[in-house]
Structure 1
Amino acid sequence: MGFSLFSAKNRIINLVLNDHSIRFLELKQTNPPIAQKWSERFLPPGIIVDGKIVDSDSLANILEQCIEEWKIQRRSLRFIVPDPLVIIRKVSIPSDVQEDEIKGFLYLELGSTIHLPFEEPVFDFHRLTNNGKTQDVLLFAAPEQFVMEYVKLFSSLKLESVAADISPLSMYRLYHLNRSNEKEVLFTVQFDLTSVNLCIFDGSVPMVMRQFALPFNIEDWDIKLGLSGVIEFIYKGASEELVIQFEDIFKEINKLVDYYRFSLSNEKQDVTKFLVNGDHPMLKAIYDEMKERFEVPVEMLSLPADEKTKGSIPTNHLLSLGLALKEVQ
């Protein structure tokens, strides 16, 4: 799963861009691979908005500085398609459509029987069930225009895009490293400074995803680069504002749990675990609150046991690490 736009290359760097940051991580090519280098850069508001590049000149200038500082000139890269651009949708197609014909069939049906909120998507799919008359497939789609703006920007800076991914899959990939294949319904919560991504996995398949923007006023935060090289955000605004934001997200979590239970699984399955990650400065408090509110277990995404002794990767780089493991495992 992912977006099959590109071919594979070696010595790949991994970039995660969102509305407020650029993050870079590189693996050391050992067996198993381990994180070798990572860094990040704060993005001022207005350069990327809701995952879309708004000020391409400023972003290009900042990326150019990062490339020089991080010494990643002329490298191949993977990147995560920003969450606000991605749609996951289950669609039914005739059962006799063969696997190698599905992509072409979906392309022909887009805009007629399959409706998306944008034209000219880049997409991939994952087969689900086949009852003999119809088969269900999961459609992963994003507007090609906005995805290609990132690809063209990277190319203009001599970085070649070779793979794209979505954040829940990167999060799941790291979570599942060195774990058994026990059947579970995992609800991932990516709680970042300016957005929240919610996704429910049935086994290894992301069945539904929702994205929510969080209000962000830069004047309410002190932002500095810590001694460890991690950007630190200290909130100085009214605490009630954050409480309201968190309450709204908890309500959306409950809605999505109910949607999965009653609409997707027909009351046959429930969410069995929450997995929390993100770069929000209050992430530990969010995690603690979720443990109080929800009856199912809540787990914080962390490094695999054999990785913890090899370097202290900051929590906000775990998504980058999950991306780096794409096509490595």
Structure 2
Amino acid sequence: MAFSLFTPKNRIINLVLNDHSIRFVELKQSDPPSAQKWRERFLPPGIIKDGKIVDIVSLTSNLEECIDEWKIQRRSIRFLVPDPLVIIRKVSIPAEIQDDEIKGYLYLELGSSIHLPFEEPVFDFYPLSDNGKTKDLLLFAAPEQQVMEYADLFSSLKLNPVAADISPLALYRLYHQLGHTGQNEILFTVQFDLTNVNLCIFEGSAPVVMRPLALPFDSDKWEIKRDSLGCMDCKYTGDADELVVQFEDVFREINKLLDFYRYTLNNEKHDATKFLLSGDHPMLQAIVDEMKERFEVPVVQLSFGAESNGKTGSVPANLLLSLGLALKEVH
């Protein structure tokens, strides 16, 4: 019985929910990353909006069907906190605060010297530097009520949430694991999905600024069905010019964030050195091509070949975020 820990049924399930889908990946191995199995389901509009659960009854019903169909009953899970709920902020604290006291200190300062756009946050931090007088940290925060709504929902369905993460870190973890990181790299990640885009700039492995954007989504103008692998197959049936307008808005926001990073965060010392583009948008290749035309910064996608093959074949690009989540350690 001692070896039962190593059987597939005890592997952690990696669950990613956003405004338009539920996805999961079960990791087979981490080096190189390989999926044992994966699945996804389209979520009709109005169930989750801007990361917040709007229709808990419909979401519960959809999750129950997924759990049953995917045979993931009573499993431990990791999940992503939806991008629109997450705030990343750089804060400075006195250097004399010991490492094991930092969380308590931040908790006391929230609402007084550290201001967030919501009360009662859940938060974590990432140490950046210590100059002897102050310590610089990255603070990751989200509204506790909304995060716990997801955790409580999973628990009510007999799933066991053991870790939460944010999407830029999950994506970067996979990028790093695949050996793509460069020296002195300033990586600008663009997670381009069907209903939202998430922009994030990394200094080394630290995500220093993040900006989530909602995309207009009219389900009447999209034809969505399952392909032969059980994945979402999305085709746009509306006026192509409407998508062009959406993309233009996103490119403008990318330029704004580049300028903010260059002039406000960085005193013109550094620029982004690379774009990493990923996501589930069916026009992703056209978006990559357009960005290569517009920006002088190199644009790359995660190259993922035969090493990602599991029982279900090569993992589709729109499930790479779940695979990055699967690489998170559970402490």
Does structure 1 residue 107 correspond to structure 2 residue 110?
Answer: no
Rounded Cα–Cα distance in structure 2 between residues aligned with 1:134 and 1:87 = 22
User: What's the counterpart of residue 292 of structure 1?
Assistant: 293
Name the CA shift for 1:87/1:31 in 2 (closer, same or farther; >3 Å): closer
- Decide which of 316, 319, 322 is 2:321's aligned counterpart: 319
Name the CA shift for 1:275/1:30 in 2 (closer, same or farther; >3 Å): closer
Shift of 1:305: 6.7
Aligned-residue Cα RMSD (Å) equals 1.7
Q: Is the contact made by 2:274 and 2:299 (CA closer than 8 Å) also made in structure 1? A: yes
Shift of 1:268: 1.3
Rounded Cα–Cα distance in structure 2 between residues aligned with 1:245 and 1:29 = 38
User: What's the counterpart of residue 6 of structure 2?
Assistant: none
1:23-42 equivalences in 2 (<5 Å): 23-29=23-29, 34-42=34-42
Bigger drift between 274-283 and 254-263 goes to 254-263
Tell me, what secondary structure is at the counterpart of 1:249?
helix
Rounded Cα–Cα distance in structure 1 between residues aligned with 2:310 and 2:146 = 39
User: What's the counterpart of residue 301 of structure 1?
Assistant: 302
TM score, norm. by length of structure 1: 0.93
TM score, norm. by length of structure 2: 0.93
Rounded Cα–Cα distance in structure 2 between residues aligned with 1:279 and 1:319 = 10
Corresponding letter in the other structure for 1:300:
Q
Query: What does the per-residue CA deviation read over 1:296-324, in whole Å, with 9 as the maximum and x for residues that have no partner?
Result: 11001232674369831111001111111
Name the CA shift for 1:53/1:276 in 2 (closer, same or farther; >3 Å): same
User: What's the counterpart of residue 225 of structure 1?
Assistant: 226
1:1-329 equivalences in 2 (<5 Å): 11-29=11-29, 34-179=34-179, 182-303=183-304, 306-307=307-308, 311-327=313-329
Shift of 1:240: 1.3
Rounded Cα–Cα distance in structure 2 between residues aligned with 1:256 and 1:304 = 31
Shift of 1:232: 0.9
User: What's the counterpart of residue 4 of structure 1?
Assistant: none
Corresponding letter in the other structure for 2:104:
G
Shift of 1:189: 0.1
Tell me, what secondary structure is at the counterpart of 1:176?
helix
Shift of 1:184: 0.3
Query: What does the per-residue CA deviation read over 1:126-164, in whole Å, with 9 as the maximum and x for residues that have no partner?
Result: 111222222211100000100000000000100000011
Corresponding letter in the other structure for 1:77:
I
Corresponding letter in the other structure for 1:267:
E
Q: Is the contact made by 1:15 and 1:79 (CA closer than 8 Å) also made in structure 2? A: yes
Shift of 1:34: 1.9
Rounded Cα–Cα distance in structure 2 between residues aligned with 1:28 and 1:314 = 16
Q: Is the contact made by 1:16 and 1:80 (CA closer than 8 Å) also made in structure 2? A: yes
Rounded Cα–Cα distance in structure 1 between residues aligned with 2:121 and 2:210 = 17
Name the CA shift for 1:326/1:135 in 2 (closer, same or farther; >3 Å): same
Q: Is the contact made by 2:75 and 2:160 (CA closer than 8 Å) also made in structure 1? A: yes
Shift of 1:99: 1.1
